[in-house]
Amino acid sequence: MMPLNVQLWKRFPSPSSILLPYFQEGSCTPYTPGNETCALGNQVSYAINSTGKGALGLWTHNLKSIDFITQYQGLNYSGSAVRLGAGVQAFEAYAAASAAGLIILGGWCPTVGITGGFVAGGGHGPLTSTLGLAADNVLEMEVVTADGQLRTLSPTENSDLFWAIRGGGGGTFGVTISVTAKVFPDRRIGAANFQLLASAQTEEEAFWDAVDEFHSQLPTWVDQGGFAAFILTQQLLYARPLTFPGKSQADVEQLLAPLSDWLDARNITYSLTITEASGLLQHVGSVEPLPYGEDAAGQVTGGRFIPRQTLENNRDSVLSAARSILQDPDFRILGTGMKATTDLSGLPAGDNAIPPAWREAILGYEITAGWNYTAPFAENALLQQRMTTEAVPALEQVTPGSGAYLNEANFQQPDWQHAFYGSNYARLLQIKQKYDPESLFYAATAVGSEAWEVADDGRLCRAQRRGY
Ligand SMILES: Cc1cc2nc3c(=O)[nH]c(=O)nc-3n(C[C@H](O)[C@H](O)[C@H](O)COP(=O)(O)OP(=O)(O)OC[C@H]3O[C@@H](n4cnc5c(N)ncnc54)[C@H](O)[C@@H]3O)c2cc1C
């Protein structure tokens, strides 16, 4: 595989950009000289976001409308809402909402779109433990289904598809054109940046004891509406930030006092900075410089939800699993401590396809590794293999029956139907077959992807034609 030109391939404003280098069809890129032959497929002759021959990518970045609705009237909700076009990214939504004194539920990275894969996968962010998941706050959607029909989805129209597409994953039920979602009054946001270095401690175990204590505080924090985003490596625990919507600086000082008291009593060295922002845009901007932020995508990924019950009753097992994964210096863990229960949004339980494992979780552990752009493809592929056979299984062992967030997981996840969709899978598959009987839409671990088979040479074939 030819080395990638990172500068060219990491630009989201270009329809030829790709996120994960694993999936680049490396033999023929838009930059391959026209007189060279391709090992697979043909020269790319169209400028769309597709890396496979015969695939069609849809460029949503011209669908940028953001329309606020003062009094939306729906079956289960009346109040303020916003209708977002399919191409709206978080930095645009946050800025427009802030100017109107409102907040919209998006993710951390300002460039991640809101209406596509984010909402379809569930969508967590700084407001999750306060207002629920993004998918829990969607009121209505416009979607083009495989038969070419533009359909409105809501609790009263195409309600089965509306259920499925909020949590059942992007790219498989139809093409989302717009999402109408609840908006809320903007509010102050208290936050803390916390850093702990193994090298700063006199004993190695002190670092891990402190990580364990940090874990032990998560239930209290999320019950107070907090969202804990953190990085964990063998050497570092860096929470940047702990977010407490609606809380003041003094509130956060109080919430963090049990942790700092515990650390002080043991002479453990750490740094803690507590701040207060006037609103969501200001808070996100203090973490991710706007408009684009600096958060890079994990290029080799895997993940697992840690149930609240496991963290509360068997915290040692979570720490041991994390330590064993991080013994491999290629891996790091991105933690998302949150509560994603339906009471936060007032959604009736089971009213969308968010998997039960997420409702029961208190923590998402995403394991990531970087891609070495100067190493051969096979070397990087081995890393993804270790993710599949070693890293993720270490977490699975201590969280039997749980699952993983499909947007922050391993595309090679065995038993992905259960891991990503849980007990919703059978119903999701029925809905997929109803609206897309020919399986026009495909993604590797999306609902219904069993209808296709990736052949050894990388081509996608109908499973039944290959005797499956
Ligand atoms: C830097 C970074 C930070 C992230 N931070 C967060 C976070 O804070 N919280 C969180 O929950 N997730 C986060 N994610 C994960 C994110 O939710 C997923 O990457 C999600 O799939 C992004 O959706 P997208 O539409 O922008 O992406 P794409 O890569 O364009 O799409 C992902 C999937 O959705 C489908 N899709 C996209 N648009 C549409 C559409 N209009 N209609 C139908 N299907 C569509 C695609 O076909 C594909 O299958 C982050 C990802 C990155 C790279």
Residue 219 has pLDDT above 80, yes or no: yes
DSSP 181-231: EE-EE---EEEEEEEEEGGGSSSHHHHHHHHHHHHHHHHHHHHTT-EEEEE
Average pLDDT over residues 224-244: 97
Residue 58, pLDDT > 80, answer yes
pLDDT of 5 strictly over 50: no
189-419 belongs to CATH 3.40.462.20: yes
What is the per-residue DSSP string for 147-182? TS-EEEESSSSSHHHHHHHTTS-SSSS-EEEEEEEE
9, 104, 112, 141: which to mutate for ligand 1, most atoms within 8 A of CB?
Answer: 112
Q: Which atom of ligand 1 is nearest to the CA of 446?
A: 49
The reply to whether ligand 1 has any atom less than 6 angstroms from the CB of 123 is yes
Helix (H) or strand (E) holding 130: helix 128-131
Query: Residues 164-217: pLDDT tens digits?
Result: 999 999 999 999 999 999 999 999 999 999 999 999 998 889 999 999 999 999
Question: Does residue 125 line the site of ligand 1, with CB under 6 A?
Answer: yes
Contact 336, 242 (CB under 8 A): no
Is the pLDDT assigned to residue 45 strictly greater than 70?
no
Token digits of residue 360: 């029961």
- The band of 298, judged by pLDDT with boundaries at 50, 70 and 90, is low
Ligand 1 pocket: which of 9, 49, 109 to mutate (most atoms within 8 A of CB): 109
Do 103 and 185 contact (CB within 8 A), yes or no?
A: yes
Instruction: Please choose, from the candidates 139, 76, 73, the residue with its C-alpha nearest in 3D space to the C-alpha of residue 104.
Output: 139
Tokens for 64, please give them: 């940028």
DSSP character at residue 463: T
- Determine the Cα–Cα distance for residues 278 and 74; give it in Å rounded to an integer: 31
CATH class of domain segment(s) 66-185: alpha beta
**Ligand 1 centroid to 291 CA: how many Å?**
18
From the CB of 57, is ligand 1 less than 6 Å away?
Answer: no
Average pLDDT over the chain, rounded to an integer: 91
Give the residue-averaged pLDDT of 124-142.
98
- CB of 188 within 8 A of CB of 98? no
Residue 118 CA, ligand 1 centroid: distance in Å: 4
**What are the residue boundaries of the structural domains of the chain, listed by start?**
1-59, 66-185, 189-419, 438-466
Quote the CA–CA distance of 410 and 381 in Å, as a whole number.
Answer: 12
Nearest Cα residue to 354 out of 286, 423, 414: 423
pLDDT tens, residue by residue, 321-354: 999 999 999 999 999 999 999 999 999 999 999 9
pLDDT value of residue 381: 93
Task: Give per-residue pLDDT as tens, 299-324.
Answer: 899 999 999 999 999 999 999 999 99
Band (468; pLDDT cuts 50, 70, 90): very low
Distance (Å) from CA 202 to ligand 1 centroid: 42
pLDDT at 289: 87
Q: Whose CA is nearest to atom 32 of ligand 1?
A: 117
Pick from 84, 64, 56, 53: nearest CA to 146: 56
Position 373 scores a pLDDT of: 83
- Position 54 confidence tier, pLDDT thresholds 50, 70, 90: low
Segments in 224-314 forming alpha helices (H): 249-265, 280-287, 308-313
Please give the DSSP secondary-structure letter assigned to residue 296.
P
Using most ligand atoms within 8 A of CB, pick from 118, 165, 358, 441 the residue to mutate for ligand 1: 118
Atom of ligand 1 lying closest to residue 89 CA: 26
Mean pLDDT of 130-148: 98
Residues 6+ apart with CB under 8 A from 297: 19, 20
pLDDT for residue 50 is more than 50: no
Q: Tell me the CA–centroid distance for residue 171 and ligand 1, in Å.
A: 10
- Read off φ and ψ for residue 85, nearest 5 degrees: -70, 160
Q: What is the pLDDT of residue 355?
A: 98
* pLDDT tier for residue 57 given thresholds of 50, 70 and 90: confident
Q: Which pLDDT score, from 0 to 100, does residue 294 have?
A: 78
ipTM greater than cut 0.90: yes
Q: Does 50 or 264 have the greater pLDDT score?
A: 264
297 CB within 6 A, ligand 1: yes
**Tokens encoding 307:** 């149930």
Task: Give me the percent of the chain exceeding a pLDDT of 70.
Answer: 88
| Residue type for position 65 | S
Where residue 14 falls among pLDDT bands split at 50, 70, 90?
low
322 or 374: which leads in pLDDT: 322
